[in-house]
Amino acid sequence: MKRILGIMGAMAEEIDEVKTMLVDVKSVEVGGRAFYSGTINGIECVVVFSKWGKVAASITASILIGRFAITELLFVGTAGALAEGLKIGDIVVGQRLVQHDLDARPMIPRFELPLLNRVYVNSDVRLTGLAVRAVSKLLDRGVVQVMGEKNAKEFSIVAPALVLGDIASGDQFVNSAAKRNSILSELPDIQCVEMEGAAVAQACYEFDLPFAVIRVISDTADHNARIDFIRFVREVANAYAKAIVNEMTLLLD
């Protein structure tokens, strides 16, 4: 079967940057989303802005799967840190994805996906392993190479860490200690929080498609989150997205 890699980004800025890497690019609009097809490092790719939130992301993933016949999906975006010690600029590769705002009690236990009998969806072991290798290569090259000296200094990013761990998604931007602590008290092993990954994971699980999620920490999901997030997306997230996709496609054969 011919490999077609779907690449979804959580921010338009990230996708704009990744788009510049496509060779022989063609664009098609479906469901209010622009899908860009072409090759990156010889790998056939379809690149699209996921839009925000779980519903938008699952619609986008379903179109990639049903209409563009992708064979694997890579999600790249930013996230707010929940785990102690994670800093802005660190990278989390998702091992398991969970929807922190899913609650159909008393019919179904807290966080459990209705009719799927599971709380967590596992990312694909092979693709996630490649994601870890790709991110390690990128971090080994040094942050200045990825984002430039000015940005590295401005965001105090010195030697970003790579963490393989669990990611929680929900339809809210987490920007207070109360919200972040409430998620952590119920899901203590979560590394970071965002708004799309677990929805994409569920879509891929139901369509039996391998996926990986890579999230760069843009904020610490507290009262500074909004300001840090906006600055980070404008200045740095697109550079990370481009570098990650470049390394990842170089590793795919």
Residue 123: closest CA among 99, 102, 97, 98: 97
Q: Is 45 in the site for ligand ADE (CB under 6 A)?
A: no
**Interface segment toward ligand ADE; rule CB under 6 A; list 87-95, 138-146, 188-196, 200-208:** 188-196
Interacting residues of 132 by C-beta distance below 8 A, sequence separation 6+: 93, 162, 164
Identify which range of 24-32, 64-72, 75-83, 106-114 contacts ligand ADE by CB under 6 A: 75-83
Question: Which has the closest alpha carbon to 242: 41, 54, 67?
Answer: 41
Active site residue 208: no
**In angstroms, what CA-CA distances link 195 with 30, 62, 99, 103, 151?**
22, 17, 9, 16, 25
Residue with smaller CB distance to ligand ADE, 6 or 197: 197
Q: Whose Cβ is closer to ligand ADE: residue 220's or residue 249's? A: 220
By beta-carbon proximity to ligand ADE, the closer residue of 45 and 74 is 74
Contacts of 121 (CB under 8 A, 6+ apart): 96, 97, 98, 113, 198, 201, 202, 204, 205
Question: 3-state secondary structure string, 39-65?
Answer: EECCEEEEEEECCCCHHHHHHHHHHHH
Which residue is listed with tokens 């009690």? 105
194 binds ligand ADE, rule: CB under 6 A: yes
Report the C-alpha gap between 158 and 231 in whole angstroms: 17
Among 11, 79, 91, 121, binds ligand ADE (CB under 6 A): 79
Nearer to ligand ADE, 99 or 175 (CB): 175
Nearest alpha-carbon partner for 253 in 76, 126, 68, 95: 126
For ligand ADE, which stretch binds (CB under 6 A), given 64-72, 86-94, 120-128, 214-222?
A: 214-222
> Is 103 annotated in the active site?
no
* Residue 196 found at the interface with ligand ADE (CB under 6 A): no
- Interaction of residue 193 with ligand ADE, rule CB under 6 A: yes
Catalytic-labelled residue, pool 13, 14, 112, 194? 14
SS3 label, residue 136: helix
Q: Which is nearer to ligand ADE, 44 or 101 (CB)?
A: 101
Is there binding between residue 238 and ligand ADE (CB under 6 A)? no
Name the active-site residue from 166, 219, 228, 247: 219
CA distance 142 to 148: 10
Residues engaged in binding ligand ADE (CB under 6 A): 78-80, 173-175, 193-195, 218-219, 221, 225, 229
Residues annotated as catalytic (active site), given as ranges: 14, 219
